[in-house]
């Protein structure tokens, strides 16, 4: 764990990208990666070459250079200078980590479930038993006694964690994804490095958690890795071959769909699909477009022409004027072509500020209604239509 200034860094171990860091004081939804794995099995006889590559930042475009808060004055005068203190190296105690994650799941269940539900009552009883089992202060007893109380507390939690919903409950498959803007408020060269940091982090997670899966969109980003980080790219290729790293998204970059013409959209799919086919032997089946506003009504026809049958976005949920009524629906294009479309109404994990706030807002009619899957597309007014594209107008 490095204790330094700055925001984000790449961890290099023996010349190989191994993960990303974000300073511990920056605790945001964009990540709090303040510690990374150096190696899975430490060997006292092994020496490692460890390096940190930090992103220093840059002036924000659009401000006059000599304004008090501009890129050449005021706070920005020190924008590229950060102090490095030290680096802390430790051994991860898997028992402690497993206990914390088990406890967090039960605490979230207790917070989210209806206060009158039997399931919540059972969880609360389990948590009370954990409280009676655990030595709350590691300093109160010797180390092994405290760790043994953690093992006993995990055994208490195990039956509650093993409980399942009924047979009619849906199956949810979860996988990781990191949305990265190809060009936004920083130089494209930094986007390349950002991709390398992110991908290195996913491969590190796969090393720690064999069940972990990740979805990579935007073929352009993968091509950057092939050109700029060939050793990292080969690790990606191995993970793809193992079925753990999914290449999907269908297009070269997650593109604008309002200003461009049909030929430009077709070439996005052509370049994206051709690259993943030639490089990995796979074709995408989903047009992954989480962060683009507005969608041409010709998209379903273009998608189907490239063998893409699913569409995903989030931006319909950002509309504050005419709320779109569906989350999962069939989108019918102007020529009658259908694709299955879905958009997220949340993009965080299930905490009080995540899916809970969305679901309660839906119940009061202030957000998109959940659990509705019409068989036809929908216009912004909520009336069913056979040939309308979802719109933010």
For CA atoms 375, 379, 380, 382, the dihedral sign is: negative
Are 153 and 134 in contact, with CB atoms under 8 Å apart? Answer: yes
Tokens 């461009």, residue located: 260
CA–CA separation, 258 vs 69, rounded Å?
A: 34
CA–CA separation, 184 vs 58, rounded Å?
A: 13
Are 10 and 17 in contact, with CB atoms under 8 Å apart? Answer: yes
Q: Out of 98, 114, 291, 335, which one is annotated catalytic?
A: 291
SS3 annotation, the chain: CEEECCCEEEEEECCEEEEEEECCCCCECCECCCCCCCCCCCCCCCCCCEEEEEECCCCCCCCCCCCCCCCCCHHHHHCCCCCEEEECCCCCCHHHHHHHHHHHHHHHHHHHCCCCCHHHHHHHHHHHHHHHHCCCCHHHCCHHHHHHHHHHHHHHHHHHHHCCCCCCCCCCCCCEECCCCCCCCCCHHHHHHHHHHHHHHHHHHHHHCCCCCEEECCHHHHHHHHHHCHHHHHHHHHHHHCCCEEECECCCCCCCCCCCCHHHHHHHHHHHHHHHHHHHCCCCCEEECCCCCCCCCCHHHHHHHCCCCEEEECHHHHCCCCCCCCCEEEEECCCCCEEEEEECCCCCCCCCCCHHHHHHHHHCCCCCCCCCCCCCCECCCCCECCCCCCCCC
285 in active site: no
**Cα dist from 64 to 58, 76, 81, whole Å:** 14, 12, 21
CA–CA separation, 361 vs 184, rounded Å?
A: 31
Q: Could you list the active site residues?
A: 291
């Amino acid at each position: 764990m490095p204790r330094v200034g700055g925001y984000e860094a790449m961890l290099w171990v023996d010349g190989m990208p191994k993960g990303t860091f974000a300073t511990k004081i920056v605790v945001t939804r964009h990540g709090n990666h303040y510690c990374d794995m150096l190696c899975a099995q430490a060997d006292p006889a092994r020496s490692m070459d460890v390096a940190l590559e930090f992103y220093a930042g840059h002036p924000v475009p659009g401000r006059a250079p000599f304004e008090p808060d501009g890129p050449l004055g005021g706070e920005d005068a020190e924008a590229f200078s950060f102090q490095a203190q030290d680096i802390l190296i430790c051994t991860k105690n898997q028992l402690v980590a497993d206990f914390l994650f088990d406890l967090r799941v039960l605490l979230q269940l207790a917070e989210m479930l209806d206060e009158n539900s039997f399931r919540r009552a059972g969880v609360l009883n389990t948590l009370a038993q954990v409280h009676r089992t655990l030595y709350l202060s590691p300093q109160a007893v010797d180390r092994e006694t405290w760790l043994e109380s953690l093992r006993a507390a995990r055994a208490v939690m195990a039956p509650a964690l093993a409980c399942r919903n009924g047979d009619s409950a849906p199956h949810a498959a979860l996988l990781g994804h990191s949305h990265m803007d190809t060009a936004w408020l920083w130089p494209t060269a930094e986007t390349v490095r950002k991709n390398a940091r992110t991908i290195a982090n996913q491969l590190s997670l796969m090393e720690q958690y064999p069940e972990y899966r990740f979805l990579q969109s935007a073929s352009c980003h993968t091509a950057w890795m092939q050109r700029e980080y060939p050793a990292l790219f080969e690790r990606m290729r191995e993970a793809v071959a193992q079925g753990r790293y999914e290449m999907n998204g269908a297009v070269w970059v997650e593109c604008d769909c309002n200003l461009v013409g049909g030929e430009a959209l077709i070439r996005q799919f052509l370049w994206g699909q051709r690259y993943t086919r030639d490089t990995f032997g796979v074709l995408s089946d989903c047009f992954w477009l989480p962060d683009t506003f507005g969608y041409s009504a010709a998209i379903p026809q273009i998608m189907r022409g490239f063998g893409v049958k699913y569409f995903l976005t989030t931006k319909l949920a950002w509309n504050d004027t005419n709320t779109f009524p569906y989350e999962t629906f069939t989108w019918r294009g102007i020529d009658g072509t259908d694709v299955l479309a879905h958009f997220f109404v949340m993009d965080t994990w299930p905490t009080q500020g995540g899916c809970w706030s969305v679901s309660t807002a839906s119940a009061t009619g202030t957000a998109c209604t959940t659990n509705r899957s019409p068989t036809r597309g929908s216009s912004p007014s909520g009336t069913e239509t056979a040939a309308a594209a979802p719109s933010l107008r």
